[in-house]
Copies of this chain bind each other. A is one copy, B any other.
Amino acid sequence: MRRVLCYDTTLRDGTQAEDISLTTEDKLRIALKLDELGLAYIEGGWPGSNPTDKRFFQEIQNYHLKYASIAAFGSTHNHRVTAETDPNLKALVDSGAPVVTIFGKSWDIHVTEALGTTLPRNLELVGDSLAYLRQHFREVFFDAEHFFDGYKANPDYALSVLRRAKEAGADVLVLCDTNGGTLPVEFRAIMSAVAAALPEARFGIHTHNDSGVAVANSLEAVELGAVQVQGTVNGYGERCGNANLCTIIPSLILKCGIDCLPEGKLPLLTPTAHFVSEMVNQQPPSNQPYVGDGAFAHKGGVHVSAVVKNPLTYEHVTPESVGNARRVLLSDLSGQSNILYKAREFGFELDKNDPFVLELLTTIKEREALGYEYTAAEASYELLLNRVLGRARSYFTVTRYRVLDDNVYESDEPLTEATVMIKVGGRVKHTASTGRGPINALDKAIRKALRGFYPRLAEMRLLDFKVRVLSGTVEDEQCGRGVCGTASHVRVLVESGDTAKRWVTVGVSHNVIEASFQAMEDAINYKLFSDDKEKLTKALKG
């Protein structure tokens, strides 16, 4: 079976998108997730350009990646110096990455206007930079920036840039449609001509979506022999985004018979797409091909009954093949199979006629209507499942908490104080703590209250929290105009971890403090519950 290698640039080109910025920790978590999916290359960033990226390349070396090779990104060397003395090329080498990708100019007006040098000098920059990097990396890729526009303006020059890159040792020549303006007909004509002119070369493709055809052009390129496809998760990227790998990958595997993920990994695609959208804190578009919540959602009655008879009638692929699920909108059937599926994951073989399933379905529907969302918050879901089935004990009860936030403008910092009253068995504990903000103060107060009862909570940390406003769910009595920001529901996701694992919990309320507190309560309960479960499993085995 023919193989194409996917090259992810979410961490570099994806962060050029308007609302996306990632910390080093975010980048590490995304990289590990993409490795799990089985992508061949993960471009980590531009180590010469900023400290976030530089730290990423240091930290990632502490992890063992199973499938992916990390690539460092940069440009050809500055035209005023040599490759050997260029600080940016040196930063690439120092990154410790096994793979490097540099971009160079292939459009004549960019050479003269943007770069401010001559056409022959640009050929030297390309050749010298690649020849230098060739000595330090396992693989070297060359991104021919603006290649398609360059070819239209001056085909001979554009080709001579590619030739020089190949001679200097580039393993793959990546043709970039940087402005995203090339339509498929023209794209095919140019790429065919280029492939004919350089019959020995291996090509990659990097497209942008300014004309809405980034995916189609990437598929054309593969059809014409490209061995590498560059893109981003969910198509994140500057302006209209990059080619969406979540669309390209299933089309290649399921429709073109091309191998681009390790065997059995395709069902991780939807969860990976949703994970990355959580990390960049953006609502995943419901209408995204293959991985969108709406990609297999059926509304019209005609469609629904046909789909129930034979899914093929209104579904181009099976939702399970990409880890998604069929949704029947406005119908009581919705969700049941997901619930059974999910319960199986947590070790419960439920029957759909089991009365617990109905209760669970009702509970979940009610909570989802309030804005709870369990896709990312699996720990909350597992707790809920066990509570409905009567298998989770109550470790503690909160009877009251209070937060006071006092901000006197001449003083340095606002004072925040939280008090928490809990019951464990028959004993009441009442504690207080200050903190940096209300959530932090509450977190500290509740730990103080519980640590005498459950010392192992000392291992647990709250690692991250995310807040999303669910606009349009509630009307404010004072507003009366539909959505009204400050009285909207908010959903808080809290990520916690101990030495062995990480888990995510959820809370929803009008009140950001209350929503956070719910998620923290769940997080602590989950820690205690999962430790007990593990002990029990060990005891049963031993």
- Chain A residues engaging chain B, CB cutoff 8 angstroms: 16-19, 21, 23-26, 109-110, 113-114, 146, 178-181, 183-185, 209-213, 215-217, 219-220, 223, 235, 238-241, 244, 247-248, 251, 255-256, 281, 285-290, 292, 294-300, 302-303, 306, 309-310, 312-317, 329, 331, 373, 375-376, 397-410, 414, 416, 435-440, 442-444, 461-474, 476, 478-479, 481-488, 490, 494-496, 509-514, 516-517, 520
Q: Number of copies of this chain in the oligomer? A: 2
Given A21-B373, A467-B490, 11 other A-B residues pairs in contact with their CB atoms under 8 A: A23-B473, A25-B471, A178-B314, A181-B255, A183-B251, A209-B287, A211-B255, A212-B244, A402-B404, A437-B486, A464-B488
Chain B: minimal CB distance from A13 (Å): 10
Chain B: minimal CB distance from A229 (Å): 13
Chain B: minimal CB distance from A14 (Å): 12
- For the complex, what is the distance from the CA of A281 to the CA of B466, rounded to whole Å? 10
Question: Contact check: which of B235, B312, B402, B472 meets A23 at CB < 8 Å?
Answer: B472
Question: Contact check: which of B219, B463, B469 meets A465 at CB < 8 Å?
Answer: B469
Contact B467 A467 (CB under 8 A): yes
Contact B23 A471 (CB under 8 A): yes
Q: In the complex, which residues of chain B have a beta carbon less than 8 angstroms from the beta carbon of A512?
A: 437-439, 467, 512
Q: In the complex, which residues of chain B have a beta carbon less than 8 angstroms from the beta carbon of A255?
A: 181, 183, 211
Chain B: minimal CB distance from A427 (Å): 17
Q: From known contacts A183-B256, A256-B183, A511-B438, infer whether A240 and B25 are also in contact, taking CB-CB under 8 Å.
A: no
- For the complex, what is the distance from the CA of A329 to the CA of B239, rounded to whole Å? 11
Contact A476 B440 (CB under 8 A): yes
Q: In the complex, which residues of chain B have a beta carbon less than 8 angstroms from the beta carbon of A216?
A: 184, 212-213, 215-217
Q: In the complex, which residues of chain B have a beta carbon less than 8 angstroms from the beta carbon of A300?
A: 16, 238
Contact B511 A185 (CB under 8 A): no
Question: Contact check: which of B19, B289, B436 meets A510 at CB < 8 Å?
Answer: B436
Give the residue name and chain of the B residue nearest to A296 (CB): B239
Among A181, A300, A317, residue most surrounded by chain B Cβ atoms (within 10 Å): A181
- For the complex, what is the distance from the CA of A467 to the CA of B438, rounded to whole Å? 15
Q: In the complex, which residues of chain B have a beta carbon less than 8 angstroms from the beta carbon of A466?
A: 468-469
- For the complex, what is the distance from the CA of A286 to the CA of B327, rounded to whole Å? 27
Q: From known contacts A440-B487, A466-B469, infer whether A407 and B514 are also in contact, taking CB-CB under 8 Å.
A: yes
Contact A299 B510 (CB under 8 A): no
Contact B438 A185 (CB under 8 A): no
What are 26 contact pairs spanning A and B, CB under 8 A? Answer: A18-B297, A19-B375, A23-B483, A24-B472, A109-B313, A110-B306, A113-B306, A113-B313, A211-B247, A212-B251, A213-B213, A216-B216, A238-B298, A239-B296, A239-B298, A240-B287, A399-B410, A403-B404, A403-B405, A407-B517, A436-B476, A436-B510, A437-B487, A465-B488, A485-B496, A486-B520
Chain B: minimal CB distance from A210 (Å): 5
Q: From known contacts A211-B251, A213-B219, infer whether A437 and B511 are also in contact, taking CB-CB under 8 Å.
A: yes
Chain B: minimal CB distance from A517 (Å): 8
Q: In the complex, which residues of chain B have a beta carbon less than 8 angstroms from the beta carbon of A211?
A: 215, 247, 251, 255, 289, 316
Question: Contact check: which of B398, B414, B487, B495 meets A485 at CB < 8 Å?
Answer: B495
Contact A285 B286 (CB under 8 A): no
Give the residue name and chain of the B residue nearest to A256 (CB): B183
- For the complex, what is the distance from the CA of A120 to the CA of B513, rounded to whole Å? 58
Q: In the complex, which residues of chain B have a beta carbon less than 8 angstroms from the beta carbon of A210?
A: 289-290, 295, 316
Question: Contact check: which of B376, B438, B471 meets A19 at CB < 8 Å?
Answer: B376
